[in-house]
Amino acid sequence: MMIDWHSHILPGVDDGPTDIEQSVAIAEALAAGGFTEVYCTPHLMRGIHEAGNDEVRWSMARLQERLNKSGIPITLQSGREYCLDEYLHAALEDPLPLGDSRQILVELLPHSTADMVRRLVYDVVRAGFTPVIAHPERSPLLELPGHPGGNGGIRGALGHLLEPAGHPAGNGGILESFRSLFPGRGNGSAERSHGPNGQGMHAPGGNGHSRRSSDAAANPLLAYLRDLGCSFQGNLGSFSGFYGVQVKTTAESMRDAGLYDRYGSDLHTVQQAKIVLSNQPKQTAG
């Protein structure tokens, strides 16, 4: 079972598809790539994307009905992508976690500071939820000293702390490489990585407590988030070069260090789906 933990597939609720036909096209691309379960995680951004939870649930139910009628074998799950900003406290009063778990997908913003991230992520934990950090490879705050992936970078700093996953891309392109991120789970597929009650279930080479070490202080913020029990979700597009060379290198290093315990497409558009889910890795602007 391949699970997409992060998508903007729902129509008309954020900066994703504008109509249901585009959503169906994205679902078709995901199904063709081998995905069977997709978490719908639209943005909640004050003043920009403010669709309510009921609207998100309604949109998901409508799209699921359409997918069922069209014979597209995708099961949708609810969720949101929350910003680590000053409005998070209000959102935590009535959050929409990932499916039936106690996990909440959160993203760092370009203007985030380390102190702000520590405080807000701790507030998520204090509210009784497990933070899932979206695409950490795209946040400069979570890089380790040195060039990403180079000497002194994240692989060098975390490699001695975590058992390397070591899953190089094969000849099958980015999707084949993605499947190999979860080895030994039946046909190389990515299986659900949380328990029935939402507790973290770490993928091979993941960030389980047994692989943690107190000297992960090369990046104190990353060490704090790991020690707090956060999960980390990598973007599939990061491995295909969709966000640029530096993000790609950082993502590969984080993967090899075993930081991630789940992955997502973060798809917003049909065109993005064609690029990210292509059988050949591509380099795009960004």
Is residue 281 in some structural domain?
no
202-224 b/e with 16+ CB inside 10 Å = b?
Answer: bbebbbbeebeeeebebbebbbb
Lowest mean pLDDT among 73-77, 174-178, 202-206: 202-206
**CA 87, CA 79: separation in Å to the nearest integer?**
17
**CA 90, CA 88: separation in Å to the nearest integer?**
5
Confidence of residue 215 (pLDDT cuts 50, 70, 90): very low
Residue whose structure tokens are 């070591």 = 166
Is residue 283 in some structural domain?
no
pLDDT at 19 over 60: yes
Domain CATH code at residue 189: 3.20.20.140
3-class SS shares of the chain: helix, strand, coil, % to 5 = 35, 15, 50
Q: What percent of the chain stands above pLDDT 90?
A: 64
pLDDT confidence of residue 48: 82
Stated pTM of the model: 0.79
pLDDT at 192 over 90: no
- Total structural domains in the chain? 1
Instruction: Report the 10 Å Cβ neighbour count for 70.
Output: 11
| Domain enclosing residue 210, as ranges | 2-276
pLDDT confidence of residue 220: 93
- Helix (H) / strand (E) element for 225: namely helix 220-228
Is residue 153 in some structural domain?
yes
Is residue 203 in some structural domain?
yes
pLDDT confidence of residue 147: 41
* CA angle at 7 for the pair 128 and 282, rounded to the nearest 5°: 130
Q: Which of these, 9, 13, 137, lies nearest to 74 by C-alpha position?
A: 9
Is residue 174 in some structural domain?
yes
